[in-house]
Structure 1
Amino acid sequence: MSVDEAGTQQVDGGADEPGWDVDPDDESGVAVVAAVGRQIKAWREAAGMRAGEFGAAIGYSEDLVYKVEGGRRIPRPEFLDRADEVLGAGGKIAAMKRDVAQVRYPKKVRDLAGVEAKAVEIAAYVAHGLHGLLQTPGHARALFEARQPAYSQDEVERMVSARMARQSIFERLPAPALSFVLEESALRRPIGGTMEWRRQLERLLEIGQLRNVSLQVMPTYREAHPGMDGDIDVLKFKDGTAVGRSHGAFSGRSVTDGRQLRILELRYGTIRAEALTPRETLALIAQVLGET
């Protein structure tokens, strides 16, 4: 994913924006959106307004109003704000923005964002490409659009928004300790085209200079290392617990057992030791940027 907005708006004469459909397989999300829709309809009917009349008053089409009220479309924050104002709800409708804030995003992504939001330390090695927390919107969009079977544009926008939402972690206070190791090849693949590639490199330079972030690159001239089997992630929490996962260990499942976590930490520690230092990494990224 900020895990924040959701909705439906009449744009450019009534075009239906992608990325705001309700996921029918997300039971909790369906329930939230349906409940919000019922509340809006109840307020509208209590005000004696027809759907078309209400839509015209808030700048939405009648069709979109019916979709929102019927729980088939997630209302944008602007929809809820305007509805609250027009219907004289005194903040009761606008307050539902928090209820629908996260349901725009797939449940798996919401769960991941929730775990990341609780972590005080995150360590991540990515064998191919860039970690989702490091990606620009254009980079993420290019990756999703390249998937096969092809995603619909609605699905692409939904997942890009969800991935960007997770990056609110960089704004958290107190700031968590974040450590990333990526392969040098990830810096040199022009995903999204030259201009997007440059934006991505600039974003890495920006993130790499944050005081709570350690960003390292594994140079291509290094020989075999413990991350060759796949990604490694270890997240630690305030209460002393932790969770880890690696594609190359424990059948790729998440683990919380102390012994298994130590194995992942050992592998990650070795990878960090063999990678370029954060200072050397920023110099390399700047060099690649200058060559683009």
Structure 2
Amino acid sequence: MTAETTGGGSGGEPEVSDSLKSFGEVVKAFRKRARLTQEEFAPRVRYSLPTVASIEQGRRFPPADFVDRAEEVLDAFGTIRGAARHLSRRPGLASWFRQWASLEAEAVSLYTYECRLIPGLLQTEAYARTLFAERLPPLGDEQIEARLAARTDRQRLLRERPNTAYGFILEEHLLLRRAGGRQVTLELVDHILDLAELRNIEIQIMPLVRESHAGMDGPMRLLETPDNRWLGYCEGQESGQFISDPKVVSMLQMRYARMRSQALTLEDSLSLLRQMRGAV
């Protein structure tokens, strides 16, 4: 598994975040001031009771809409929003992936080819939980929650940055594997189809049988910065390689461009996904 999905191995474990615990204490204090139980508070901020409990315990990174709703519901004088600004922004991400994640948040173009698993930006919670639950050595509940929080935080980019162009090339076998079972796969396919409806997201499927394939050297990511520089990232099991050398980046761009021509067209990719959904 990869750093973006697991948080890495022993060298990439997310550090304990005192800021998360402090934020949780602030929310709990204002909730009690408002004389609300967690059971009463959760529906008002439109989050589940387990999620609210995890946030108050400092085990889960609060989504932006939770912060805004909690601030309004609890009439917190801006204190909750202020506490949120001091949070460590990338809990649950391996150390070697954080530099790329920071650049990813500002990119004007982001292209991803994957042959091992569905990229983190496209994963559903159920699919991600499957990956985390099968992690070796096993993860604890708090570690899993931290990784899910990091995943949710990253996925906001797809909808919050409508002017960023996102492209994904996925191997067909990633969905045929049915990781997590039939229901998890059905939900995943539906989720990918929904994302493909967005104007800034292009999803192509590399067919199972392909005699000529430019991606045989493995997964890759490419991004374009706001000042129009191109950078690359490749990842192994316990490490990641950030690539800024223009010659190497150019080589990756060449390979990705060839794969775009080798994969199914956008229309044919969506058609195949719909067929696969019916066959799951």
TM-score for both structures, normalised by structure 1: 0.70
Partner of 1:244 in structure 2? 232
Pair 1:59-2:7 in alignment = no
Higher relative contact order (CA 8 A, sep 6+): 2
- Where 1:171 maps in the other structure, the secondary structure is helix
Partner of 1:222 in structure 2? 210
Pair 1:96-2:74 in alignment = no
Deviation at 1:116, TM superposition (A): 1.4
Partner of 1:51 in structure 2? none
Alignment of 1:1-292 (within 5 A): 26=15, 29-30=17-18, 32-33=19-20, 57=35, 59=37, 81=70, 90-100=77-87, 102=89, 104-106=91-93, 108=95, 111-247=99-235, 253-292=241-280
Note if contact 2:14-2:93 (Cα within 8 Å) is conserved in structure 1: no
In the superposition, relative to structure 1, how do residues 225 and 177 fare at CA in structure 2: closer, same or farther (>3 Å)?
Answer: same
Deviation at 1:240, TM superposition (A): 1.5
Deviation at 1:284, TM superposition (A): 0.4
Deviation at 1:111, TM superposition (A): 4.7
Deviation at 1:112, TM superposition (A): 4.3
Amino acid at match of 1:213: I
Deviation at 1:73, TM superposition (A): 6.3
In the superposition, relative to structure 1, how do residues 56 and 106 fare at CA in structure 2: closer, same or farther (>3 Å)?
Answer: farther
Note if contact 1:216-1:278 (Cα within 8 Å) is conserved in structure 2: yes
Kindly provide the CA deviation profile for residues 55-94 of structure 1, in whole angstroms up to 9, marking residues without a partner as x.
Answer: 894537xxxxxxx99x97679667x958x95xx9633355
Kindly provide the CA deviation profile for residues 150-183 of structure 1, in whole angstroms up to 9, marking residues without a partner as x.
Answer: 1112211221221122111121244211111011
TM-score for both structures, normalised by structure 2: 0.73
Amino acid at match of 1:222: R
Amino acid at match of 1:236: E
In the superposition, relative to structure 1, how do residues 59 and 110 fare at CA in structure 2: closer, same or farther (>3 Å)?
Answer: farther
Deviation at 1:247, TM superposition (A): 4.5
In the superposition, relative to structure 1, how do residues 24 and 72 fare at CA in structure 2: closer, same or farther (>3 Å)?
Answer: farther
Of 254-263 and 88-97, the range deviating more from structure 2: 88-97
Cα-Cα RMSD: 3.9
Cα distance in 1 between the residues matched to 2:118 and 2:246: 28
Note if contact 2:170-2:206 (Cα within 8 Å) is conserved in structure 1: yes
Partner of 2:50 in structure 1? none
Amino acid at match of 1:95: G
Deviation at 1:37, TM superposition (A): 8.2
Gaps of 5+ in 2: 1-11, 39-54
In the superposition, relative to structure 1, how do residues 224 and 175 fare at CA in structure 2: closer, same or farther (>3 Å)?
Answer: same
Aligned length in residues: 248
Of 98-107 and 188-197, the range deviating more from structure 2: 98-107
Cα distance in 1 between the residues matched to 2:206 and 2:140: 34
Note if contact 1:246-1:264 (Cα within 8 Å) is conserved in structure 2: no
Note if contact 2:206-2:264 (Cα within 8 Å) is conserved in structure 1: yes
Note if contact 2:92-2:143 (Cα within 8 Å) is conserved in structure 1: no
In the superposition, relative to structure 1, how do residues 126 and 107 fare at CA in structure 2: closer, same or farther (>3 Å)?
Answer: closer
User: Whose radius of gyration is greater, 1 or 2?
Assistant: 1
Amino acid at match of 1:263: M
